[in-house]
């Protein structure tokens, strides 16, 4: 069967057919599933509209955004704020540094720690780029009126707060005392020969 892009309506119908008899919390499933689909669609749109002319990926933009908003910061903090691993940040920051957008420097108290900051060129880029980025955010949210935008933002904020406040305990409860296994890339483990 050929792979094709399916609409959200087609996806919801297929889910109902597949899971129709299972006792599930369908509204929660629809909410979380639609958050995921919306986030992926928004990211793709913003990369292909506002970010592409500046040769930026989504992750590169998020790193610049974190540094633009918070100023100079240790690399571990930037990675945490951006929601990426330290390894991913290393690659992104090297690329941004090679383009003259980010500067890396050793921490004054411990040379093993790294500080990241926007360069003047990075500051100028964000000042130029962000209005175009925000115009695309407005395009994405155009089907909603201001009250609906606020309501959506508050609902998403409540979900984030739930995870920040109770997520770690929930993971511990689900593990029932077992240690959390390291995340994998999805590849199968190598077979010993």
- Which tens digit of pLDDT belongs to each residue from 109-132? 887 889 999 999 999 999 999 999
Encode the chain in three state secondary structure. Answer: CCCCCCCHHHHHHHHHHHHCCCCCCHHHHHHHHHHHHHHHHHHHHHHHHHHHHHCCCHHHHHHHHHHHHHCCEEHHHHHHHHCCCHHHHHHHHHHHHHCCCEEEEECCCCCCCEEEEECHHHHHHHHHHHHHHHHHHHHHHCCCCHHHHHHHHHHHHHHHHHHHHHHHHHHHHHHCCCCCCCCCCCCCCCCCC
Query: What confidence score (pLDDT) does residue 110 get?
Result: 83
Query: What confidence score (pLDDT) does residue 185 get?
Result: 54
- Which tens digit of pLDDT belongs to each residue from 140-193? 999 999 999 999 999 999 999 999 999 999 998 999 878 877 665 555 555 555
Query: What confidence score (pLDDT) does residue 85 get?
Result: 93
Query: What confidence score (pLDDT) does residue 81 get?
Result: 94
* Mean pLDDT value of segment 71-75: 95
pLDDT band, residue 22 (cuts 50/70/90): confident
């Amino acid at each position: 069967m050929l792979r094709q892009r399916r609409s959200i309506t087609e996806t919801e119908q297929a889910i109902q057919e597949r899971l129709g008899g299972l006792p599930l919390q369908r509204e929660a499933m629809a909410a979380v599933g639609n958050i995921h689909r919306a986030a992926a669609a928004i990211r793709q749109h913003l990369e292909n509209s506002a970010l592409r002319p500046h040769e930026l990926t989504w992750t590169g933009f998020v790193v610049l955004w974190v540094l633009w908003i918070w100023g100079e910061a240790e690399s571990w903090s930037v990675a945490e704020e951006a929601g990426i691993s330290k390894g991913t940040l290393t690659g992104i920051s090297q690329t941004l540094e090679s383009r003259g957008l980010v500067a890396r420097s050793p921490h004054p108290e411990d040379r093993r720690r790294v500080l990241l900051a926007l360069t003047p060129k990075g500051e100028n880029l964000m000042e130029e780029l962000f209005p175009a980025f925000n115009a695309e955010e407005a395009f994405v949210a155009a089907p909603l009126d201001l009250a609906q935008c606020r309501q959506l933002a508050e609902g998403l904020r409540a979900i984030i707060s739930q995870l920040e406040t109770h997520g770690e305990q929930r993971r511990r409860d689900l593990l029932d005392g077992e240690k959390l296994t390291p995340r994998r890339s999805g590849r199968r483990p190598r077979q010993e020969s």
